[in-house]
Structure 1
Amino acid sequence: MESQKIIFTATPGETLKNMLENFSFDTLFILCDTHTQKFALPEISKNISTQAQYITIEAGDTYKTLQTLVHVWNELSHKGASRKSLLINLGGGMVTDLGGFAAACFKRGIRFINIPTTLLGAVDAAVGGKTGINFNGLKNEIGAFRPADTVIVSTQFFQTLPQNELLSGYAEMLKHGLIDNPATYRSLLDFDLSMPNWEKLLPLLKESIQVKERIVAEDPFEKGIRKALNLGHTIGHAFESLSHKRETPIPHGFAVAWGFICELLLSHRYLKFPSETISELAAYIYRHYRAFPITCKDYETLYELMTHDKKNEAGYINFTLLQTIGKPVIDCHVDKEEIFVAFDLYRDLFKL
């Protein structure tokens, strides 16, 4: 898989303008959702001298569907896109995931640039080459590996985010700290999320993205160590899918935060991960994210949702667990009973 260029900048509009001068394309398309059309597109469009065609989709993960994907393809087709067209995906993870997949398939692949407008989109979805849509109520069930040609990352777009959006992205940064090293992890715990210093956040974000870059470069198609990036996601995706079944969707990063508490509890059981670290992190998570409410009646449903995880092999649910901070262990097979014990302990930690 091709590597992607990532640019960190305080002036994303000017950066894009300069970059487009070095790109060869016949038509330019900009994909955004109803939120980024209002809050982010003006900053971008005022810096573009090239005539652009605009495609707008509804905002929110519930629209990350086949129907929305078909709409984007129809728009590209009706507006004259060719194999030499360039697509700019301006938005959060939903836009970069769906837009990247649309570009990967349209005329067998057109070039695209990601400009993430959420912290979660920057640290997770826009980088690493995964694209896709939700299908049959399951997260990212259909997709392809296809990196953007360039990703432009700027904290300028994050300053108008609701606190929940900021927290959602920060959970993925915490995950990168957990799988990377204690110093990175500690610096993230010490950052003041209630009054973010955007200048200080940019280098933390850069360091976090570089953790993912190093892992993706080593294992682009998730055959080995890239599975470390799934810490918290096996159970987190189940929490997220259950929230959609309840028709009370939770932010992705919140689901991951609660998911890696459960998976660290499994790490303690199987790999002796330090219990004091779990207690400290659980207190941090509860303080910032509260808790996802589950009862023992939800266990079987959550387990069934986990059986659909794409990382599973030969009938086993595959987990990434931690031996200690910075030492992930991939392809861990966990007994169903132990998963249910982890749910019990999660409920105890969060007083559910």
Structure 2
Amino acid sequence: MEPQKIIFTPNPGEALANVARSIAPDALFILCDTHTRALALPVIAEALPPSTQYIDIEAGDTHKTLEALAHVWDELSRHGASRKSLLVNLGGGMVTDLGGFAAACFKRGIRFVNIPTTLLGAVDAAVGGKTGINFNGLKNEIGAFRPADAVVVSTRFFHTLPHEELLSGYAEMLKHALIENPDTYHALLDYDLSNPDWDRLLLLLEESVQVKQRIVAQDPCETGIRKALNLGHTVGHAFESLSHRRGKPIAHGYAVAWGLVCELLLSHHYLHFPSDIITGLADYIYRHYGAFAITCKDYETLYELMTHDKKNEGGHINFTLLQAIGHPVIDQHADKEQIFVAFDLYRDLFKL
């Protein structure tokens, strides 16, 4: 599989115009949510032709639904989209996931471009070809592998993001660094995200995305090494799903941050991952992300949620664990008792 075309640029409008010229679609559609329509669209508006059609969906992961997906298809049909049309997904991970899936299915596939407007979207959702929607209360339960024809990445969209949104994306960068090497990991711990140097962040982001890009090129459909990118996500998705059941949704990146700590605790038990690195990461996560509150009464629910994870095989909950920074080990199983021990240790580290 050829590496996905990813453009890192200070001028996203110009980059999109160049991509559109090379594709030469018969119609251009821009998919926004209610936030990106107001905050992000003006950044690229001057580069868009007058004939551009706009599709709006509600913001937030709770709207990554079959109903929102059908709305996109309805709008594409109503405005005469063909297999030669181009859909541009302008937004965070929710928009690029849903929009990519809409494009992958509409008329059996039309071209699409992702322009992530959040750090999380840039480092994770917009790159790698995973598309989908939530279904029956489960994250990304329905979807397809379909890489965007291009991804345009610019930190210009991040200037208006709340600090919590930057932190959410930064957790995925920490995950990539843990998979990659100690130098990358420590560079991220040393970067001051509270006072961002945007040019420096773009360089760190490019390095982080390249980690994912190399892995995806080797394993586009997640049958082997791509599973390394799921580090922190088995527990993280369970935390996220539990937060939705409570009616108090947490950001995906925050869930991954807390999930990383839990899965490194499992890594210590099964693969002897160094405990001092876990303690250091837990301290960093606690200072910047706070804690996701759980009690022993939540353990069974969290375990049940993990049994629905798409990575599971043969009735076993499947984890990616680390032997050391830069040394992921895929297809690892943990017994229920040890998962509960990890939850106990997580609560100790996060003062719960």
Tell me the TM-score normalized by structure 1.
0.99
- Structure 2: gaps (5+ residues): none
Task: Please report how far the alpha carbon of residue 148 of structure 1 lies from its aligned counterpart in structure 2 after TM superposition.
Answer: 0.2
Which residues in structure 2 correspond to 1:204-283 (within 5 Å)? 204-283=204-283
Which residue number corresponds to residue 178 of structure 2? 178
Task: Provide the identity percentage.
Answer: 77
Distance in 2, matches of 1:55 and 1:274, equals 49
Which residue number corresponds to residue 321 of structure 1? 321
Task: Please report how far the alpha carbon of residue 333 of structure 1 lies from its aligned counterpart in structure 2 after TM superposition.
Answer: 0.7
Which residue number corresponds to residue 101 of structure 1? 101
Which residue number corresponds to residue 154 of structure 1? 154
Asked if structure 1 preserves the Cα contact closer than 8 Å seen for 2:3 and 2:214, the reply is no
Which residues in structure 2 correspond to 1:32-111 (within 5 Å)? 32-49=32-49, 51-111=51-111
Distance in 2, matches of 1:50 and 1:224, equals 45
**Counterpart residue type for residue 101 of structure 2:** F
**Counterpart residue type for residue 211 of structure 1:** V
1:214-245 deviations in whole A, cap 9, x for unaligned?
00000110000000000000000000000000
Task: Please report how far the alpha carbon of residue 145 of structure 1 lies from its aligned counterpart in structure 2 after TM superposition.
Answer: 0.1
1:114-134 deviations in whole A, cap 9, x for unaligned?
000000000000000000000
**Counterpart residue type for residue 302 of structure 1:** L
**Counterpart residue type for residue 187 of structure 1:** A
1:251-310 deviations in whole A, cap 9, x for unaligned?
000000000100000000000000000000000000000000000000000000000000
Which residue number corresponds to residue 338 of structure 2? 338
Structure 1 residue 139 corresponds to structure 2 residue 139: yes
Tell me the TM-score normalized by structure 2.
0.99
Which residue number corresponds to residue 129 of structure 2? 129
**Counterpart residue type for residue 277 of structure 1:** I
- Structure 1: gaps (5+ residues): none
Distance in 2, matches of 1:82 and 1:19, equals 18
Asked if structure 1 preserves the Cα contact closer than 8 Å seen for 2:5 and 2:149, the reply is yes
CA RMSD of aligned residues (A): 0.8
Q: Between 37-46 and 313-322, report the one with greater CA deviation.
A: 37-46
Asked if structure 2 preserves the Cα contact closer than 8 Å seen for 1:17 and 1:49, the reply is no
Distance in 1, matches of 2:39 and 2:46, equals 13
Distance in 2, matches of 1:131 and 1:19, equals 21
Q: What SS class does the counterpart of residue 17 from structure 1 fall into?
A: helix
Distance in 1, matches of 2:138 and 2:47, equals 38
Which residue number corresponds to residue 188 of structure 1? 188
Asked if structure 2 preserves the Cα contact closer than 8 Å seen for 1:3 and 1:147, the reply is no
Which residues in structure 2 correspond to 1:5-16 (within 5 Å)? 5-16=5-16
Task: Please report how far the alpha carbon of residue 2 of structure 1 lies from its aligned counterpart in structure 2 after TM superposition.
Answer: 5.6
Asked if structure 1 preserves the Cα contact closer than 8 Å seen for 2:2 and 2:217, the reply is no
Distance in 2, matches of 1:257 and 1:92, equals 18
**How many residues are matched?**
352
Distance in 1, matches of 2:129 and 2:3, equals 9
Distance in 2, matches of 1:237 and 1:29, equals 31
1:125-156 deviations in whole A, cap 9, x for unaligned?
00000000000000000000000000000000
Task: Please report how far the alpha carbon of residue 50 of structure 1 lies from its aligned counterpart in structure 2 after TM superposition.
Answer: 5.2
Task: Please report how far the alpha carbon of residue 47 of structure 1 lies from its aligned counterpart in structure 2 after TM superposition.
Answer: 1.4
**Counterpart residue type for residue 303 of structure 1:** Y
Asked if structure 2 preserves the Cα contact closer than 8 Å seen for 1:237 and 1:256, the reply is yes
Q: What SS class does the counterpart of residue 23 from structure 2 fall into?
A: coil
Asked if structure 2 preserves the Cα contact closer than 8 Å seen for 1:2 and 1:147, the reply is no
